[in-house]
Structure 1
Amino acid sequence: MSRDHALEAFRRESQALTDAVSGLSAAEWNLPTRCTPWSVRELLGHVCVVIDWVPGMLAGPTPGEAGISAADYYRPDERFSSRTNRARIALARDRAAGPADGLGPAEDFTATWRRVDRLCRAQPAGRTVFSRHGDAMLLSEFLITRVVEVAVHGLDLADALGHEPWLTESAGDAVLHLLLGAEHKAAADALGWSRPRLLRKATGREPLDASEAARIERLGIRWLALG
């Protein structure tokens, strides 16, 4: 997927999330999510944190070659260990406690993703970056992982709030392409699930029965390690 397509998916899904969380009540911000121990506010703080890695990556050294794809990025190594997860939880809670500029959680998220969108649009095609885990990646490939974060945690937030999922078509396509490859639309149609349900299944948010697990295996769906 090109940088422009990845950015379009990121932009549309981020705007949909902004629209969904703008105007939440204090009680709604404090609702629990399936991403224990985070509340709605803290989970959105996590999404801010993982998007906000991008400016530092763009300002840092540039690898000569990209060796890691978006799919490879989700390999289950130290980045998803208990120690890393504890740090991830703490960073999200710190962010949710309030950014330095005093913005509320919805405003912080909006300012963060718009800054990343603006910076990435200014980059040349084929730009490479190092992820915070040391992966040498095309910026377009890393952006797909940020689409995953916004889209999948958007489902978590929708479920916590009791809202219908707002998954956008462009983000759904980007994530399904990651999971299913070039034939993602035909494979998704073969499963017969809505895109939100497929993402819940593929990330372990909904259990699979034996027949569903067999169909998933036949299609060669990549399971994402999301910590």
Structure 2
Amino acid sequence: MSDEARVVLSVLGGEVGALVAALSALPALAWERPTRCDPWRVRDVVGHVIVVLSRVPDMVAAPAPERAGTTAAAYYRADGRFSDDTNDERVRTAQRRAADPDPALLVRDLVDTGRTVVEVCREEPADRVVRTRHGDAMLLTDFLTTRLVEVGLHGLDVADAVPREPWLGPAATEHLLRLLFGPRWQVAVDATGDPITLLRRATGREPVTAEQRRVLDQLGLRHLALG
């Protein structure tokens, strides 16, 4: 892997570990709490995270496309991948993965899935290209960034639903903000005052005023379609 890919994979593994630690401390009733990702409960959000991670090994095992044609930011574009039918399927798939009533088994599923992702990716070449389920050809590094988006942002959703203080680490926060704002990400943080608040506002997880929206756009926010 390239140095960049190793960093992304390390940060992703760390965030999966942080999510596992947080989930392991939850009382049973917390798993049934509603989240902002309606109609998902906490357990369904966890099911979704497991599902999106579980696709990585199959993608790595499949033949590699000749060249990449989609970046991590472009992956989150508003097309058929966020149609009503696709969203309905996304909801059902997550709920099926989370159907076991024992939260400990869901945590174990997340641990095993996260470990497998790291194992199958760490020996891949720097220029490895994979094909997503939506048909995109992407550098594995970029696709791993999208998995960090899923683990990190849905970790915020779980933290806010429980509720407890977010556990998103500094390295993951910086990586996500670089995706959203590019090289001016620190300027965006300084303008907002808090990186987690900035992430919430930039991804639709906190209401914004017209003035706040204008500032985000001035700072170069890349608007990602996130369902």
Is 1:108 paired with 2:109? yes
Provide the rounded CA distance (Å) in 2 between the counterparts of 1:187 and 1:25.
36
Q: Is this contact kept in 1: 2:187–2:219, CA < 8 A?
A: no
Deviation at 1:186, TM superposition (A): 2.7
Q: Is this contact kept in 1: 2:184–2:219, CA < 8 A?
A: no
Is 1:188 paired with 2:153? no
Provide the secondary structure at the position in 2 that maps to 1:5: helix
Letter in 2 for 1:80: F
Alignment of 1:77-88 (within 5 A): 77-88=79-90
Which sections of structure 1, spanning at least 5 residues, go unmatched?
Answer: none
Provide the secondary structure at the position in 2 that maps to 1:2: helix
Deviation at 1:197, TM superposition (A): 1.1
Provide the rounded CA distance (Å) in 2 between the counterparts of 1:198 and 1:186.
11
Provide the secondary structure at the position in 1 that maps to 2:50: helix
Instruction: Determine the structure 1 residue equivalent to 2:64.
Output: 62
Letter in 2 for 1:98: D
Question: Sequence identity of aligned pairs in percent?
Answer: 49
Is 1:155 paired with 2:193? no
Deviation at 1:25, TM superposition (A): 2.2
Which sections of structure 2, spanning at least 5 residues, go unmatched?
Answer: none
Instruction: Determine the structure 1 residue equivalent to 2:77.
Output: 75
Q: Is this contact kept in 2: 1:179–1:222, CA < 8 A?
A: yes
Provide the rounded CA distance (Å) in 2 between the counterparts of 1:86 and 1:68.
24
Provide the rounded CA distance (Å) in 2 between the counterparts of 1:156 and 1:34.
7
Provide the rounded CA distance (Å) in 2 between the counterparts of 1:103 and 1:57.
27
Deviation at 1:206, TM superposition (A): 0.8
Provide the rounded CA distance (Å) in 2 between the counterparts of 1:182 and 1:139.
21
Return the TM-score normalized by structure 1: 0.94
Q: Is this contact kept in 1: 2:24–2:104, CA < 8 A?
A: no
Provide the secondary structure at the position in 1 that maps to 2:138: strand
Deviation at 1:191, TM superposition (A): 2.6
Provide the secondary structure at the position in 2 that maps to 1:166: coil
Q: Is this contact kept in 2: 1:8–1:170, CA < 8 A?
A: no
Question: How many correspondences in the alignment?
Answer: 224
Q: Deviations over 1:171-203 (max 9, x none)?
A: 1111111001123223322332x2221111111
Q: Deviations over 1:51-93 (max 9, x none)?
A: 1110110111201111100010011000011100000001001
Return the TM-score normalized by structure 2: 0.94
Q: Is this contact kept in 1: 2:70–2:136, CA < 8 A?
A: yes
